[in-house]
Amino acid sequence: MKESHSGKLASEWKKLLSDSSVTCEQVDIAPAVSAFMAAKDDEELKSVQAAASLTSTLLKYHVAPKLESILDKESKTTHDMFAAQIEARLGDSAKGPDMKVWSRFKGHPDIDFPSLEFCYPPIVISKSSKSGYDLRYTVESSDDNIAHKGVLLVSLGLRYKSYCTNIARTFIVDPNTAQEMQYNLLLSLQSELIATMKDGVSVRDVYQHALAYIRERQPDLEKHFVKNLGFGMGIEFRDSAYVLSSKSARTLKKNMIFNLDLGFSDLTDSNGQKYSLHLADTVKIDTSASVLMTEGSKSPKDTLFFLNPESEDEKPKGKDKNRAFVPKANGSPTKQKTIAGKVLRNQTRRAAQDEVHQTALAKLIEHQRELHERLQADGLQKFSEDGGGNGGKEGKGWKKFQSYKGEGALPIEVERLRIHVDRKTQTVILPIHGFAVPFHINTIKNASKSDEGDFTYLRINFQTPGQLAGKKEDTPFEDPDATFIRSVSYRSPDGHRFDNICKQITDLKKEANKREQQKKEMADVIEQGSLVEIKGRRPAKMTEAFIRPALDGKRLPGEVEIHQNGIRYQSLGSQKVDILFSNVKHLFFQPCDHELLVVVHLNLKAPIMIGKKKAFDIQFFREATDVQFDETGNRKRKHRYGDEDEIEMEQQERKRRTLLNKEIKAFAEKIAEAASASTLELDIPFRELSFEGVPFRTSARLQPTTECLVHLTDPPFLVVTLAEIEIASLERVQYGLKQFDLVFIFKDFTKTPLHINSIQSSQMDDVKNWLDSVDIPMSEGPVNLNWGPIMKHINESPYEFFQQGGWTFLGGAGGVESDHSEASDSESEFEADEEELVSVASSDDASDFNDSNASGSDASGSDFGGGDDESDEGDDWDELERKAAKADQKRAEGGRKAGSDDSDNDRPKKKATSKPNGKTKGKR
């Protein structure tokens, strides 16, 4: 356990007083107090690191792209308006944080956003600012428009759980050579100081080292350098005891946090205009060097924009005025194409965007490579050399069936030595060599009857090993090498009796199969414990609520009550449903902002019975529209003309929805609070990250949450826990196709893969970025895979599967780049021909996964109709041209026979009659 600050101070105090040469008057504990208070412990460092990561995310994914867009489009945006837009990314009580930005940070699910705030209002400064270039953090953004040329300064800082971080950047549009050199000097100086600032170094020495560094490279900039290099940070944004100036004699200690603040002020360009440069980051002091905690948008290619072909101080003269702009040898590369000295602005920005996209793609590929390597290592570690696979047969064993306990229990009808079907004991009694031999119905496969001449033959087939060609043979026998009777046949002249017996055996077998199937379906249904009601006070309630799946009887609203160990739904029809917190896996709240219902959804660990059906998902909802609300306006129509009443109704509707969201969300939070012992947390879908797909038979909007991918609007509901996903496979990814499919393979290999079909190709990048952000490995392929046989093979020996490369057969290092996967030299035994992969429907003898929603099911819903052959296995261009030439030749010959030239064939034919086979024949 770490020693607290007060304990450290006490030990320091005792150490000082133990020195006999030191008197009480001489003891000054202020430096010790300040030093120990400035150093952060592990918990504090976690909060600072989270704040630093969020600050960097906001800069990289909102501030820099937004500023670039303003400069490119020359938008008339004021400094304070842009600052307010930055501040609005945190949202408010009515509108939550902008997850389009914050979700880029991989640790965002663990962030408590109510504990996140700005240290100061964001500062935006350009050459048009009234206040000029002021590097202090107390300045405010002005209300004049942002200048689209020159130097722009942006500063912002975030405080998370009371701990602060800060970042400041300089952006320059059309920089001259001097400005580029000055900015590059700031970058190199920051790198130098990060290496210099370490445990035990004096603050004064750090500042003197910075001055010496500038004096050596550009002495004329020394007078413009800032008076201090920043300050210590923590709970206070600026720790005045640790200002990095030439006058401070303090010593840097490990785990101190500083705002390393560099800049040049009062600089003048060739036109006599003043400007400043500013670069600030949050750093942590360590033993050998400092650690940079904030990052992003700092290199020249991210901060220096070249929108014009030449800078103002380098205009060509005379006949060279139309020459194309050539980048300076020592400057940053330009990002534009030029024609006769003019820059194509769209090309400039497109080139920059392409560069950003390529960088993002490179990062995604690298991260996916790391995920796949980790997946392969975990797979080898998880499964032992003995294979670890059982093909999903772990619950199967030899079953014994007992029809009667003894001979005395046999029915009296056996004395006649005739075939008898005993429905009570589910047994068929057969006479064999003068003895009545009972056979339980589960030992009988089927019965058949045939007529030959005057006799009727009854054949009874039994369950024996080796009947199913091996692949689907899953009925274990106690001694498979024993001698088995495969069938028994009887002959009788009484055909009517054999008809009756065959029907009885068939019906009894159907009943036994149905009973067995119901038993399998209900195997995972649990019997919940008793609900402990709250006593002494009224439980929290959600009134006028409906439940899905619906209860038997009329559709009546009810109340949801929160008790000690669970919740209870009680309808007006006196039907009750109890759900214990210990059986709740996920809790969701979906607002009615874009829906007709506001929903509280519970996903269960084990299903419970609702009426006569089992349910994994239970939902309580209220309708967002008020049926009792009068939309006609009544008497208002007599006095109001125009749209005033419609506007008022829309405002009232919006207000009603807001209040309803607030009420139901508060109730859902109470559920999470009451279930705190079960570590149940409330999860809200991110609609801005949603996409359309077909997980079942109809299209649905799928919305990611912190821990899941859900569809909660209409049944059947979908809740996929992200932590249970092994890998995601993107299929039918081909140029020209408008849709692709997504398949989730679960870590439990016996579980059927989940197919989400017909996702729009325009959303592919969003889906990939989301999967990568939640650390799910993914692959990409041009055709659909037949996952039934693949999972069957994996289940037989998972260790052998990972020994042979595991999921690398899906393509490349992560499979996110089709070219990379196609160029892979390594082959796997799981590779299949394209013709085989296209065929998704497998026969009953092929796999146990035939009931899965394969990509070839009815739910595929792809938009290329019957054109699969053209898109996946179509003819090449040579073949198509040959067919087209042949068709033209036939048309020309037909035209000559009809006595007309080729142009006549292009005319529409009259009265085309339809034949039954769908072909038409024109009358000539």
Model confidence pLDDT, tens digit, residues 363-406: 889 999 999 999 998 888 888 754 455 544 444 555 677 888 88
Distance CA 280, CA 295 (A): 10
Instruction: Please tell me the least confidently modeled range out of 441-445, 500-504, 701-705, 845-849.
Output: 845-849
Distance CA 429, CA 497 (A): 15
Q: Is the dihedral of CA 753, 754, 759, 762 positive or negative?
A: negative
Of 193, 183, 119, nearest in space to 151 by CA: 183
Band (pLDDT 50/70/90 cuts) for residue 351 is: low
Q: β-pairing, 700-704 with 708-711?
A: antiparallel
pLDDT surpassing 70 at residue 876 = no
In the chain, which segments carry CATH 2.30.29.210? 413-467+483-520
- What's the token pair of residue 544? 């006028």
Which residues, in sequence order, are CB contacts of 582 under 8 Å at separation 6+? Answer: 529, 565, 566, 678
Distance CA 22, CA 24 (A): 7
Find out whether 37 and 8 touch, Cβ atoms under 8 Å: no
Band (pLDDT 50/70/90 cuts) for residue 416 is: confident
pLDDT of residue 812: 47
Q: β-pairing, 304-305 with 167-173?
A: parallel
Of 553, 576, 552, 578, nearest in space to 563 by CA: 578
Q: 42-305 belongs to which homologous superfamily?
A: Creatinase/methionine aminopeptidase superfamily (3.90.230.10)
Band (pLDDT 50/70/90 cuts) for residue 517 is: confident
Residue carrying the six token digits 């809790």: 587
- What's the token pair of residue 906? 């292009």
In the chain, which segments carry CATH 2.30.29.30? 700-809
Instruction: Please tell me the least confidently modeled range out of 176-180, 209-213, 273-277, 868-872.
Output: 868-872
Of 321, 297, 350, 293, nearest in space to 165 by CA: 293
Of 724, 728, 719, 727, nearest in space to 683 by CA: 719
Q: Is the dihedral of CA 547, 551, 557, 562 positive or negative?
A: negative
Tell me the sheet residues that pair with 622: 598
Extract long-range pairs of 339-342: CB within 8 Å, 24+ residues apart: 341/309, 341/310, 341/316, 342/309
pLDDT of residue 894: 60
Q: Which residue has the higher pLDDT, 878 or 703?
A: 703
Tell me the sheet residues that pair with 159: 117, 164
Find out whether 104 and 773 touch, Cβ atoms under 8 Å: yes
Distance CA 145, CA 81 (A): 9
Winning range, highest mean pLDDT, from 337-351, 400-414, 748-762: 748-762
Band (pLDDT 50/70/90 cuts) for residue 411 is: confident
pLDDT of residue 668: 92
Band (pLDDT 50/70/90 cuts) for residue 718 is: very high
- What's the token pair of residue 710? 């859900």
- What's the token pair of residue 743? 């398949």
In the chain, which segments carry CATH 2.30.29.150? 541-626+652-684
Distance CA 814, CA 924 (A): 61
Band (pLDDT 50/70/90 cuts) for residue 675 is: confident
What is the rounded average pLDDT of the residues 242-257?
90
What kind of architecture, by CATH, is found in domain 413-467+483-520? Roll (2.30)
CATH: 3.40.50.12780, 2.40.50.220, 2.30.29.30, 1.10.3210.10. Which one for 700-809?
2.30.29.30
Find out whether 220 and 148 touch, Cβ atoms under 8 Å: no
Band (pLDDT 50/70/90 cuts) for residue 103 is: confident
Of 565, 531, 558, nearest in space to 542 by CA: 558
pLDDT of residue 2: 41
What is residue 69's three-state secondary structure?
A: helix
Side-chain-facing half-sphere of 846: CA atoms under 13 Å: 14
What is the rounded average pLDDT of the residues 687-705?
93
pLDDT of residue 874: 53
Band (pLDDT 50/70/90 cuts) for residue 29 is: very low
Band (pLDDT 50/70/90 cuts) for residue 325 is: very low
User: What's the pLDDT tens digit per position in 545-580?
Assistant: 999 988 877 788 899 999 988 999 998 877 889 999
Residue type, 351: A
User: What's the pLDDT tens digit per position in 265-294?
Assistant: 999 988 888 999 999 999 999 998 899 999
Band (pLDDT 50/70/90 cuts) for residue 417 is: confident
Distance CA 848, CA 520 (A): 15
What is the rounded average pLDDT of the residues 619-638?
63
Say which DSSP state 457 is in.
Answer: E
In the chain, which segments carry CATH 3.90.230.10? 42-305
User: What's the pLDDT tens digit per position in 742-792?
Assistant: 999 999 999 999 999 999 999 999 999 999 999 999 999 999 999 999 999
User: Which phi and psi (to 5°) does residue 212 adopt?
Assistant: -65, -40
pLDDT of residue 711: 95
Residue type, 486: R
What is residue 396's three-state secondary structure?
A: coil
Q: For 116-144, b where at least 16 C-beta lie within 10 A, e where not — what string?
A: bebbbbbbbbbbbbeeebbbebebebbee
pLDDT of residue 503: 93
Distance CA 757, CA 744 (A): 11
What is residue 551's three-state secondary structure?
A: coil
Q: Regarding the domain delimited by 541-626+652-684, which CATH topology (the fold level of the hierarchy) does it fall under?
A: PH-domain like (2.30.29)
User: What's the pLDDT tens digit per position in 181-218?
Assistant: 999 999 999 999 999 999 999 999 999 999 999 999 99
Q: For 425-437, b where at least 16 C-beta lie within 10 A, e where not — what string?
A: bbbbbbeeeeebe
Band (pLDDT 50/70/90 cuts) for residue 500 is: very high
Distance CA 854, CA 852 (A): 5
Band (pLDDT 50/70/90 cuts) for residue 816 is: low
pLDDT surpassing 50 at residue 915 = no
Q: β-pairing, 754-760 with 739-746?
A: antiparallel
Indicate the average pLDDT of the chain: 78
